[in-house]
């Protein structure tokens, strides 16, 4: 143990915390215009699948530069829709990353197909194209990359593999609304791109999701799939003065109501400023946390402009007298709401039981998981919030430095 005379005692040891109240790792921001937009819908004729759905989809498609956007009741439902549209079914496989939220892999299972994991690149923690290649089989139908933390996956390489083998790329861009890859916005690069509009994301509809695509046939299938497989919606029938409808495929009720779309439309106006703020927070972290003992900062590849949903650092325990777990607890005690993204999907009990994973299969993802810590990152963070994080991380790592 080092001499501690000139150091500030950590809050976990009874010292004064850097902040008096907990700073969460992510948080929505809702303003009066958002509230008024939702209230207007509540006073209107259509609470669900009214005019706001189409308006929101149009604005969303334009924001990401895609021809079509189809809204869903959650990012998970959007992924399920994309898996359906890609034609995944029993006997098929989709290659995906273990470094994600479980919903990414689960959507493949919803369709009766099998998610096959491939390990990630050490720098970005995104799918490693060489590992994807090694995981392909005659049953592979899709590749399902995730833009981890908001940093686009290696899309050129993955689309190249897909083209060679006739596969569909479903990009889970739940973290990457507004992110760019080779100067192009995420949303029209892969065959199908999915987004989540959960409150910790760049804009929120409460719960919600979107699939974007440039293909009209995918968009039509997605619209039907989210509405019980029915080929028209109630408003279209009312407007046409018709009662008849046809169910043409086995769909779900995954509709995003007008109430939520009105919130999304209102929030969309602040997407550019939300993105800009997250980029400023990331730049401050990059500058102020560089060189701290035992801290590895996230890498940004040259061709990528990340959307910074998360700011994931790695704790190198070989340089410290404490491991990631203790650093996590110490930062929590300082009232910095750190989190961990993600427990690799194959290590969850369901996946271990169903597929026999034991750990050790995806060493890069598993080693990263042991080190990962997400620092607070949301657009409403004030300069003081950012300063608190910088101070707390410096205080804790300074204490534990070897
Ligand atoms: C990578 C990823 N995929 C899918 C989802 C699921 O989205 P939702 O919570 O909107 O269903 C999330 C949610 O956080 C996510 O982070």
- 15 CA to middle of ligand 1, Å? 37
399 has a pLDDT exceeding 70: yes
Centre of ligand 1 from the C-alpha of residue 166, in Å:
27
User: Residue of the nearest CA to atom 7 in ligand 1?
Assistant: 75
**Does the structure show a pLDDT above 90 at 235?**
no
**Per-residue tokens: 200:** 């910790």
At residue 5, the pLDDT reads 47
Beta-carbon contacts of residue 161 (< 8 Å; ≥ 6 apart): 129, 132, 133, 136, 143, 167
What's the pLDDT at 1?
A: 44
User: Is residue 142 within a helix (H) or strand (E), and if so which, with residue range?
Assistant: strand 140-144
Q: Which residue has the higher pLDDT, 352 or 48?
A: 352
Residue 3 has pLDDT above 50, yes or no: no
* Ligand 1 residue neighbourhood (C-beta within 6 Å): 74-76, 100-101, 103-104, 146, 172, 174-175, 196, 198, 209
- Pocket of ligand 1, candidates 104, 105, 196: which has the most ligand atoms within 8 Å of its Cβ, to mutate? 196
Ligand 1 mean position to 77 CA, how many Å?
Answer: 9
**What is the rounded average pLDDT of the residues 197-214?**
96
pLDDT band with cut points at 50, 70 and 90 for residue 67: very high
User: Per residue in 242-253, pLDDT tens?
Assistant: 778 889 999 999
Residues of the chain with pLDDT > 90, as a percent, come to: 94
pTM of the predicted model over 0.85:
yes
Q: Looking at ligand 1, which atom is closest to the CA of residue 79?
A: 4
Which of 26, 76, 200 for mutating ligand 1's site (highest number of atoms within 8 Å of CB)? 76
Return the ligand 1 atom nearest residue 309 CA.
16
The stretch 183-201 carries a mean pLDDT of 97
Which residues fall within 8 angstroms of residue 174, CB to CB, at 6 or more apart?
75, 101, 146, 147, 194, 195, 196, 198, 201, 209, 309
Q: Rounded to the nearest whole angstrom, what is the distance from the C-alpha of residue 237 to the centroid of ligand 1?
A: 33
Judge whether 201 counts as a catalytic residue. yes
d(CA 293, CA 311): 18
Q: Which of 25, 26, 75 to mutate to test the pocket of ligand 1 (most atoms within 8 A of CB)?
A: 75
- The residue nearest atom 10 of ligand 1, judged by CA position, is 75
Q: What is the mean pLDDT of residues 318-338?
A: 97
Report whether pLDDT(56) > 80: yes
Neighbours of 7 (CB within 10 A): 12
pLDDT in tens, 261-320: 999 999 999 999 999 999 999 999 999 999 999 999 999 999 999 999 999 999 999 999
For residues 375 and 324, is the Cβ–Cβ distance under 8 A? no
Q: Peptide bond preceding 164: is omega within 30 degrees of 0, i.e. cis?
A: no
Distance 26 CA to ligand 1 centre (A): 14
Ramachandran angles phi, psi of 27, nearest 5°: -160, 145
With 80 as the cut, is the pLDDT of residue 182 above it?
Answer: yes
In this structure, the number of other CB atoms found within 10 A of the CB of residue 398 comes to 15
- The DSSP secondary structure of 230-253, one letter per residue, reads BSS-HHHHHHHT-----B-S---B
Whether 188 and 67 have beta carbons less than 8 Å apart is answered as: yes
Of the chain, the percentage scoring pLDDT greater than 70 comes to: 99
Measured in angstroms, how far is the CA atom of residue 100 from the centroid of ligand 1? 9
Q: What is the pLDDT of residues 4-45, one digit of tens each?
A: 545 789 999 999 999 999 999 999 999 999 999 999 999 999
Instruction: State in Å: Cα 102 to ligand 1 middle.
Output: 8
Which atom of ligand 1 has the smallest separation from the CA of 341? 16
Residue 241 pLDDT grade (very low, low, confident, very high; cuts 50, 70, 90): confident
Tens of pLDDT, residue by residue over 89-141, are 999 999 999 999 999 999 999 999 999 999 999 999 999 999 999 999 999 99
The single residue of 52, 141, 201, 395 carrying the catalytic annotation is 201
Instruction: Give the pLDDT score at 8.
Output: 87
Adjacency order of strands within the sheet including 180-181? 184-185, 180-181, 304-305
Q: Which of 71, 179, 198, 312 to mutate to test the pocket of ligand 1 (most atoms within 8 A of CB)?
A: 198
Q: Indicate which atom in ligand 1 lies nearest the CA of residue 77.
A: 11
């Amino acid at each position: 143990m080092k001499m501690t005379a000139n150091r500030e005692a950590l809050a976990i040891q009874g010292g004064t915390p850097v902040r008096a109240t907990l700073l969460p790792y992510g948080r929505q921001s809702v303003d009066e215009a958002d509230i008024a937009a939702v209230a207007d819908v509540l006073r209107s004729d259509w609470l669900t699948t009214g005019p706001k759905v189409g308006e929101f989809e149009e604005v969303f498609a334009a924001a990401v530069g895609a021809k079509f956007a189809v809204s869903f009741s959650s990012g998970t439902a959007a992924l399920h829709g994309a898996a359906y549209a890609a034609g995944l079914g029993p006997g098929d496989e989709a290659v995906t990353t273990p470094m994600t939220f479980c919903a990414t892999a689960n959507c493949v299972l919803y369709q009766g197909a099998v998610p096959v994991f491939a390990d990630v690149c050490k720098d970005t923690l995104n799918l490693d194209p060489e590992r994807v290649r090694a995981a392909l089989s005659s049953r592979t139908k899709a590749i399902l990359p995730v833009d981890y933390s908001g940093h686009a996956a290696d899309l050129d390489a993955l689309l190249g593999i897909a083209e060679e083998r006739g596969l569909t790329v479903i990009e889970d861009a739940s973290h990457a609304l507004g992110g760019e890859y080779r100067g192009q916005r995420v949303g029209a690069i892969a065959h199908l791109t999915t987004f989540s509009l959960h409150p910790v994301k760049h804009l929120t509809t409460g719960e919600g999701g979107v699939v974007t695509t440039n293909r009209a046939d995918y968009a039509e299938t997605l619209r039907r799939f989210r509405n019980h497989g029915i080929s028209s919606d109630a408003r279209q029938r009312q407007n046409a003065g018709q009662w008849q409808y046809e169910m043409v495929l086995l769909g779900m009720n995954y509709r995003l109501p007008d109430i939520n779309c009105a919130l999304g439309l209102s929030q969309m106006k602040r997407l550019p400023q939300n993105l800009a703020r997250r980029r400023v927070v990331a730049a401050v972290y990059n500058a102020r946390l560089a060189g701290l003992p035992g801290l590895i900062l996230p890498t940004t590849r040259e061709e990528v402009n990340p959307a910074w949903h998360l700011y994931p650092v790695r704790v190198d325990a070989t340089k410290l007298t404490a491991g990631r777990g203790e650093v996590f607890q110490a930062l929590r005690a300082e009232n910095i709401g750190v989190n961990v993204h993600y427990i690799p999907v194959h290590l969850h009990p369901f996946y271990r039981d169903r597929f026999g994973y034991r750990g050790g299969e995806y060493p890069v993802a598993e080693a990263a998981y042991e080190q990962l810590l997400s620092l607070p990152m949301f657009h409403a963070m004030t300069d003081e919030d950012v300063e608190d994080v910088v101070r707390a991380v410096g205080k804790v790592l300074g204490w534990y430095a070897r």
